[in-house]
Amino acid sequence: QVQLTESGGDSVQVGGSLKLSCVVSGLPFGDTCLGWFRQFPGVERELGAIAGISDIGTTSYADSVKGRFTISKDYAKNTLFLQMNDLTPEDTAVYYCAADPGFGQAREFLILLPGPYGYWGQGTLVTVST
């Protein structure tokens, strides 16, 4: 059974840090593209890209998080991570992890697009206050 289980969301102050985790089961983890996306308050119809890490290890980041967020994965634990530093109130959102094993050579075009991902976590709330 495919399942993505997220954890790590919390309430923090401006400038703080959080590390989100996403445990992936039921997929060939090493052959799967993985990503983080978020829904902002009041804009819940849309998912904004955060970062992705491909099956071959390449990473991609949205401009809004470059230099602050780091995506990584632990092969032994089948776990995806998002390290978030220097958080601002504009980072307040529900954060989702996503996975898909079928991107292939199109990985660089698909990895920051929410639509192509087939599997999603339940979401975890991050709140950043002043």
Is residue 2 within 8 A of residue 29, CB to CB? The reply is no
CA atoms within 13 A on the CB side of 129: 5
**pLDDT (0 to 100) of residue 44:** 72
Can you give the pLDDT at residue 103? 92
Report the pLDDT value the prediction gives residue 27, as an integer from 0 to 100: 96
Give per-residue pLDDT as tens, 1-53: 999 999 999 999 999 999 999 999 999 999 999 999 999 998 877 899 999 99
- Residue ranges in the chain assigned as alpha helix (H): 107-110
* Residue 115: HSE in the Cβ half-sphere, 13 Å Cα cutoff: 2
Q: How far apart are CA 27 and CA 107, in angstroms?
A: 17
Work out the average pLDDT over 90-103. Answer: 96
pLDDT digits (tens, 9 = 90+) for 39-96: 999 887 789 999 999 999 999 999 999 999 999 999 999 999 999 999 999 999 999 9
Phi, psi of 57 (to 5 degrees): 95, 0
